[in-house]
C-alpha cells in the first residue's frame, strides 16, 4: 500500500460498521437504557403537552395552514432513493425516516428533485404525526407551498459544498415564523401534475439554525455572589427544565424548574444554594431518529463537573479558592520556558500506563492524576531524566470524560497477573482472559468522548464532587514543576453516543441533528469511528473553542493534540489558535501565545477533498503554524504503511540490506524503494518543507513539494518547521520495538534490533521540525506485537520504569485485531533470543537521553524558519551513486563579523550527522568536509555506547567512518 494511503485512514479507533442502516431508528434504538436516574420514570414516547398542541398564535400566522390533505404532485425523483409515481404509500411513509432535503437559509429549502409541472410543499407537525395516505400527507398543522428556484446561492454552496448541485425552493417570507417551525416535525413532499405524491423526506436544519440562532452569550453554569444561573442553547426544544439534586446519590430531585427561552437560549437564575448540587436537563424535542417528540434527559454540554456515574452534572465553580492547589494562580509565572515552538519536543503518554504497574506508587494513586505529583516514584524519576535531557512537553492521551471505563473503581473487574505470568510467551490464554473483561476493567485509551469539558473521573482517587478538578490541576502543576509542559489530547471529531436514550448521548439529545454531521440522507456520518461532529456548524465550532479555552484558563494546559484533525474545518482550527493566543497572563492568568496545537491531518471520509468545506488536512494547513503528523517519514523508515503487508521493510527495518524473505519485487525494485525512502526521510528531516530544495535519488534538484509519495501526492506540505510533527511511532499500531522485531530478519541479533530501535529515534530527534516520541520507545517498549491496544488492558500496555522488562512476550496479542498476524507473531514471541535483557533497556535509555541532549546542545538542530533551514541544511550522499542505507546531513552556522550566514550557535560552527542503517561499517567522503576540525559530539564521547565511539573523521580526505547501525554526530567547535 502506498505511503499516501496512511493519510486516508484513522489509526487507532475501533471500527464499527461504516454504512448506516436503512432506518435511523435502528441506529438510535429507543430501547436503550435511559441516561438519567430511573426515579424520573420517563417513557421514550412522550408527546407534546396539551398546552402546546392547542395551536399557539405564532403557528396560526403561518401561510397555508389548512388541515386538508389536498395537494399537487410531481414527477420528481429523489437522488438518494428514487421513487416513481407508482411508489406505494408504505414506501413514501418510509421516506420520513430520511432527511434528504436541507433548510440551509431562512428563505430556501434545498432538495435534489425536479418537480417539473408539479409542486412542492413544506409540512410541519407540532406533535410529530405526519403520515402518508392514498390522498396525500396527513397529520400536519402547517402546510406551505414552495416555489421552485434555480441553483443555490453562493453563501449556501460555500457552507454546504456537498449539496452544491441541489435545487433551491423558495419559502414565502411574509409572516413566516421559522423560529416556531423548527420546533416541529418537518417534511417536504413533491407532487406530480396528477396530484399524486411522488416522494417525501425530512429536513436537515443546521443551516437555518446557524442563520437565526447563532449565539455568543453565556452558556453553561455561571456563578455570582447571590445566584447560580444556567444557560442552554436548544432552539428546536419545545420545553426545557432543570432537575436539581442535593447530591450524586439522592433518588428524588430537590426541585424541577422550567427554563425560559429567548431566541433559542433557555435560562434560569437559581439560588446560591444550588452550588455543589447536581442537575440534569429535561428537554422536550422532536428527534429525527425516532420520528417522535421525545423527553430527553441530558447533562449540560458545558458541564465542568459530573457525578461518579456520569448521569448528572455537578454545579462546581472552578474559580473557588478551595479547588486551587497552593500556588495555582501563579503557575503561569513558573512554567518551563519555551523560546519558540521549534524548541518543542513531545513525549506521548497514557495516564494509566504511567503508573498502573509502578510499585513505587501508592495503590490509591496508581493509574491516576496524583501519581504525577510524587517526587520519587520510578515514573517521575524517569520523566525528570527526560526533562533534564530536553524533552519539553508531555502529551497525555484523552483525559476528558470518555466512555468505556467506569469512574467508580469498585465496579472494575481484574485478571490475576500471577496467573498470566505462568503462561508461555506465545500463549493464547493471556489475551483470552484480558478480552473477557476488557469492557469492564479500568483500561481504555479514551477516544470515546462523552463530555469534552470535564476531567475523566476514573483517573481521580475519588470521582465524586470536585476531586477530579483538584487532582487534574495538581498533575499539571507537578509536571510543570519538573520542567514539562502538558499537552492534552482532544477528540472533537466524534462523540461516543447519539440518539435520545443512549447513556452517552448529550449533544444529540439537546439539539438533535445539529451537532452530528449527517450524510445526504440524514444518517449520521461514521467515518471517524461513530457519530462524526460537524465543526462547520456555528455552535459546534463555538463549543470546541470554548472547551479549549476552558482547559487553558481553568487547568493551565499548554497545548492540544487534535485527534483526526482533518475532520475539523480549517476555519475552526485557525479561530481556535487565534482565541488561545489572545489569552494574557494579566487578564486570563495564562500566556496563550505559548499554547501549541497540532493534530492528525488525514484526509478521508466525507470531508476528503474538502467535501464539507476546507478541512484541517495536511495540505490545507500550510501557513497556519498548526502542526500535523508527518506519516511520510514514519512509513519510509518502517516500510509500507500501517495498513500494508506487515513484513514490508523500510530504511530502518532492513530493506534491501537485510532482507526478511518478503517479496518486494526483486533487487532492482528494492533499490528504487530504498532510494525513494531516503528521499522521503530527507524531506522530513528538513521539516517537510514544501519549498526546501534538495538533490533526489535520481540526481535531480527538486523541491520537497515535487518529491512524490507512491500515490502521486507530494511528500512535503509544511510552510514553516513547526507545522511538521515528525514521528516513527505513536499509541496507534505496533510499538517501535515490536515493528522492528516483526519486519527485520528473524536471524539478526537482539543487539541489532535494539540499535535499529535507537537509530529510528535518532532520525526523529535530529530532524528539523517538532519531534514526537511514543512513551516507551526509549525503553524498547513492547506490547507483545499488539497493533491496536486501545482496549487491551494493563497487561499488554505495561510500562516498566524500573527498566527490568520491556513487556515482550506476554502472550499472543488480542485476537480481534491481530489474529491474521498470529502466524508471524507466534514464533517471534516464542523465541527467547528476541527478548531484550535489562542491559539492553538501560543502554536504550542512555542512548535516548544522549540524542535528545544533542538536539538541545545546538540551536542549529532546532531552526526556527524555513529560510534558515534552506540556507543551512544540506544533504550529501545523494544521486544515483549514493551509498545505500546512509543519510548524511550537514548544518552550517555563520561567523560573527563575517558576511553571509548569521551566527546562531556560540559553540559549534558546523554539524554533520550521519545515519548508517546498514549492517556493516561504512565510509563516506566529500570535498565539502575536507580540512575541517570535526570531532564526535561530546555527549556521544561520554555516552555508554561503545560502538558509536568507533566513529572517526579524517580531515585530509573529508572522510567519515561510521559503525554498523549507528548514528554519529560530528561537530566543529568554534575557536575560543
Catalytic positions, written as ranges: 563, 600
The set of cell numbers assigned to 261 is: 427561552
CA distance 929 to 931: 7
Q: Are 357 and 801 in contact (CB under 8 A)?
A: no
Query: What DSSP letter does each residue of 558-621 carry, written as one string?
Result: -EEEETTGGGSBHHHHHHHHHHHHT--HHHHSS-GGG-EEEE-----GGGGGGBTBSB--GGG-
Burial 224-250 (b: 16+ CB within 10 A, else e): eeeebebbbbbbbbbbbbbbbbeebee
Burial 484-514 (b: 16+ CB within 10 A, else e): bbbbbbbbbbbbbbbbbbbbbbbbbbbbbbb
Q: Can you give 926-939 as a three-state secondary structure string?
A: CHHHCCCCCEECHH
Check the CA dihedral 131-134-136-140 and report its sign.
negative
Q: Rg (Cα) of the chain, in Å, rounded? A: 30
CB count in 10 Å sphere of residue 72: 21
CA distance 888 to 878: 9
Q: Are 221 and 257 in contact (CB under 8 A)?
A: no
What's the distance, CA 522 to chain centroid? 24
Strand 131-133 and strand 400-402: the pairing is: unpaired
Burial 81-90 (b: 16+ CB within 10 A, else e): bebebebeee
Q: How far is CA 965 from CA 886, 917, 947, 948, in A?
A: 10, 5, 9, 9
Cβ within 8 Å of residue 692, ≥6 positions away: 683, 686, 703, 704, 716, 866, 869, 870, 873
Strand 237-245 and strand 131-133: the pairing is: unpaired
Q: Are 491 and 567 in contact (CB under 8 A)?
A: no
CA distance 382 to 367: 16
Q: Can you give 870-919 as a three-state secondary structure string?
A: HHHEEEECCCCCCCCCEEEEEEECCCCCCCCCCCCCCCEEEEEEEEECCC
- Give 707's DSSP letter: S
Contacts 24+ apart (CB under 8 A), 939-948: 939/850, 939/853, 939/854, 939/857, 940/850, 940/854, 940/968, 940/969, 943/846, 943/847, 943/850, 944/843, 944/846, 944/847, 945/843, 945/846, 945/847, 945/850, 947/755
* Residue labelled with grid coordinates 467535501: 611
The set of cell numbers assigned to 823 is: 502466524
CA distance 717 to 648: 25
CA distance 462 to 188: 52
Q: Are 402 and 455 in contact (CB under 8 A)?
A: no
CA distance 921 to 110: 68
340: left (phi over 0), alpha (psi -120 to 50) or beta: beta
- The residues that bridge with 892 in the sheet, in sequence order, are 910
- Give 437's DSSP letter: S
Q: Are 537 and 205 in contact (CB under 8 A)?
A: no
Reduced to 3 states (helix: H, G, I; strand: E, B; else coil), residue 266 is strand
- The residues that bridge with 783 in the sheet, in sequence order, are none
Amino acid at each position: 500500500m502506498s505511503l499516501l494511503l496512511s493519510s486516508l485512514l484513522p489509526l487507532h479507533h475501533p471500527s464499527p460498521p461504516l454504512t448506516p442502516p436503512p432506518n435511523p431508528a435502528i441506529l438510535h434504538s429507543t430501547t436503550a437504557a435511559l441516561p438519567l436516574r430511573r426515579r424520573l420514570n420517563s417513557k421514550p414516547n412522550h408527546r407534546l403537552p396539551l398546552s402546546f398542541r392547542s395551536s399557539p398564535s405564532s403557528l396560526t400566522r403561518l401561510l397555508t395552514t389548512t388541515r386538508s390533505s389536498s395537494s399537487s404532485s410531481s414527477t420528481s425523483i429523489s437522488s438518494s432513493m428514487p421513487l416513481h409515481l407508482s411508489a406505494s404509500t408504505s414506501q413514501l411513509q418510509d421516506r420520513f425516516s430520511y432527511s434528504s432535503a436541507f433548510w440551509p437559509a431562512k428563505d430556501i429549502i434545498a432538495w435534489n428533485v425536479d418537480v417539473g409541472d408539479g409542486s412542492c410543499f413544506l409540512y410541519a407537525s407540532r406533535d410529530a404525526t405526519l403520515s402518508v395516505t392514498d390522498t396525500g400527507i396527513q397529520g400536519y398543522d402547517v402546510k406551505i407551498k414552495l416555489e421552485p428556484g434555480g441553483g443555490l446561492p453562493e453563501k449556501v454552496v460555500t457552507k454546504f459544498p456537498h449539496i452544491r448541485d441541489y435545487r433551491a425552493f423558495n419559502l414565502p417570507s411574509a409572516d413566516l415564523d421559522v423560529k416556531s417551525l423548527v420546533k416541529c416535525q418537518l417534511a417536504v413532499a413533491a407532487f406530480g401534475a396528477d396530484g399524486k405524491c411522488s416522494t417525501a423526506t425530512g429536513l436537515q436544519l443546521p443551516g437555518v439554525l446557524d442563520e437565526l440562532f447563532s449565539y455568543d452569550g453565556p452558556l453553561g453554569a455561571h456563578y455570582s455572589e447571590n445566584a447560580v444561573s444556567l444557560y442552554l442553547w436548544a432552539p428546536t426544544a419545545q420545553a426545557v427544565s432543570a432537575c436539581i439534586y442535593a447530591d450524586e446519590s439522592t433518588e428524588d430531585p430537590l426541585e424541577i424548574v422550567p427554563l425560559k427561552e429567548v431566541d433559542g437560549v433557555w435560562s434560569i437564575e437559581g439560588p446560591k444554594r444550588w452550588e455543589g448540587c447536581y442537575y440534569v436537563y429535561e428537554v422536550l424535542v422532536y428527534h429525527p431518529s425516532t420520528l417522535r417528540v421525545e423527553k430527553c434527559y441530558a447533562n449540560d454540554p458545558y458541564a465542568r463537573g459530573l457525578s461518579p456515574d456520569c448521569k448528572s452534572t455537578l454545579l462546581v465553580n472552578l474559580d473557588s479558592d478551595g479547588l486551587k492547589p497552593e500556588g495555582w494562580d501563579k503557575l503561569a509565572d513558573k512554567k518551563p520556558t519555551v523560546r519558540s515552538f521549534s524548541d518543542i519536543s513531545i513525549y506521548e503518554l497514557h495516564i494509566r500506563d504511567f503508573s498502573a504497574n509502578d510499585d513505587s506508587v501508592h495503590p490509591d494513586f496508581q493509574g491516576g492524576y496524583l501519581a504525577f505529583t510524587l517526587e520519587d516514584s520510578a515514573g517521575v524519576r524517569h520523566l525528570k531524566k527526560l526533562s533534564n535531557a530536553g524533552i519539553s512537553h508531555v502529551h497525555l492521551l484523552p483525559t476528558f470524560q470518555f466512555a468505556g471505563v467506569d469512574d467508580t473503581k469498585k465496579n472494575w473487574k481484574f485478571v490475576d497477573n500471577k496467573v498470566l505470568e505462568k503462561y508461555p510467551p506465545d500463549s493464547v490464554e493471556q489475551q483470552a482472559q484480558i478480552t473477557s473483561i476488557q469492557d469492564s476493567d479500568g483500561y481504555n485509551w479514551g477516544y470515546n468522548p462523552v463530555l469534552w469539558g470535564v476531567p475523566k473521573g476514573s483517573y481521580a482517587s475519588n470521582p465524586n464532587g470536585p476531586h477530579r478538578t483538584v487532582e487534574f490541576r495538581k498533575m499539571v502543576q507537578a509536571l510543570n514543576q519538573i520542567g514539562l509542559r502538558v499537552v492534552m489530547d482532544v477528540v472533537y471529531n466524534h462523540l461516543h453516543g447519539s440518539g435520545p436514550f443512549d447513556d452517552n448521548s448529550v449533544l444529540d439529545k439537546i439539539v438533535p441533528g445539529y451537532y452530528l454531521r449527517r450524510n445526504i440522507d440524514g444518517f449520521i456520518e461514521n467515518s471517524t469511528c461513530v457519530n462524526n461532529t460537524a465543526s462547520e456548524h456555528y455552535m459546534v465550532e463555538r463549543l470546541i473553542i470554548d472547551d479549549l479555552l476552558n482547559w487553558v484558563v481553568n487547568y493551565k494546559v499548554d497545548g492540544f493534540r487534535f485527534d483526526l484533525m482533518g475532520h475539523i474545518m480549517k476555519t475552526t482550527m485557525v479561530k481556535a489558535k487565534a482565541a488561545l493566543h489572545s489569552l494574557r497572563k494579566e487578564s486570563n492568568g495564562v500566556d496563550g501565545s505559548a499554547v501549541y496545537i497540532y493534530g492528525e491531518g488525514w484526509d478521508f471520509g466525507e470531508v476528503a477533498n474538502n467535501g464539507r468545506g476546507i478541512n484541517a488536512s495536511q495540505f490545507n494547513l500550510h501557513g497556519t503554524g498548526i502542526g500535523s503528523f508527518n506519516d511520510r517519514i514514519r512509513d519510509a523508515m518502517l516500510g509500507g504503511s500501517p495498513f500494508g503487508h506487515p513484513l514490508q521493510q523500510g530504511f530502518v527495518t532492513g530493506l534491501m540490506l537485510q532482507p526478511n524473505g518478503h517479496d518486494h519485487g526483486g533487487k532492482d525494485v528494492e533499490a528504487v524503494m530504498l532510494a525513494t525512502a531516503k528521499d522521503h526521510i530527507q524531506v522530513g528531516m528538513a521539516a517537510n518543507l514544501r519549498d526546501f530544495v534538495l538533490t533526489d535519488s535520481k540526481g535531480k534538484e527538486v523541491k520537497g513539494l515535487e518529491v512524490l509519495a507512491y500515490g502521486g501526492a507530494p511528500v512535503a506540505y509544511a510552510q514553516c518547521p513547526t507545522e511538521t510533527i515528525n514521528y516513527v511511532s505513536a499509541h496507534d499500531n505496533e510499538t517501535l520495538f515490536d515493528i522492528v522485531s516483526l519486519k527485520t530478519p528473524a536471524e539478526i541479533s537482539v543487539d541489532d534490533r535494539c540499535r535499529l530501535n535507537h537509530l529510528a529515534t535518532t532520525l526523529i530527534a535530529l530532524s528539523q521540525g517538532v519531534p514526537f516520541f511514543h512513551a516507551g520507545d526509549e525503553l524498547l517498549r513492547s506490547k507483545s506485537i499488539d497493533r491496536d491496544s486501545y482496549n487491551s488492558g494493563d497487561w499488554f500496555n505495561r510500562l516498566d520504569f524500573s527498566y527490568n522488562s520491556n513487556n515482550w512476550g506476554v502472550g499472543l496479542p488480542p485476537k480481534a485485531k491481530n489474529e491474521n498476524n498470529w502466524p508471524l507473531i507466534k514464533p517471534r514471541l516464542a523465541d527467547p533470543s528476541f527478548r531484550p535483557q535489562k542491559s539492553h533497556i538501560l543502554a536504550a535509555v542512555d542512548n535516548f537521553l544522549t540524542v535528545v541532549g544533542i538536539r538541545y546542545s545546538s540551536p542549529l538542530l532546532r531552526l526556527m524558519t524555513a529560510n534558515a533551514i534552506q540556507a543551512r541544511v544540506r544533504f550529501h550522499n545523494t544521486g544515483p551513486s549514493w551509498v545505500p542505507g546512509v543519510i548524511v546531513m550537514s548544518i552550517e552556522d555563520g561567523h560573527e563579523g563575517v558576511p553571509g550566514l548569521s551566527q546562531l550557535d556560540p559553540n559549534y560552527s558546523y554539524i554533520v550527522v550521519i545515519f548508517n542503517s546498514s549492517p556493516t561499517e561504512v565510509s563516506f567522503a566529500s570535498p565539502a568536509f575536507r580540512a575541517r576540525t570535526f570531532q564526535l559530539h561530546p555527549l556521544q564521547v561520554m555516552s555508554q555506547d561503545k560502538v558509536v565511539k568507533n566513529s572517526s573523521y579524517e580531515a585530509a580526505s573529508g572522510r567519515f567512518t561510521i559503525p554498523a547501525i549507528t548514528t554519529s554526530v560530528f561537530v566543529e567547535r568554534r575557536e575560543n
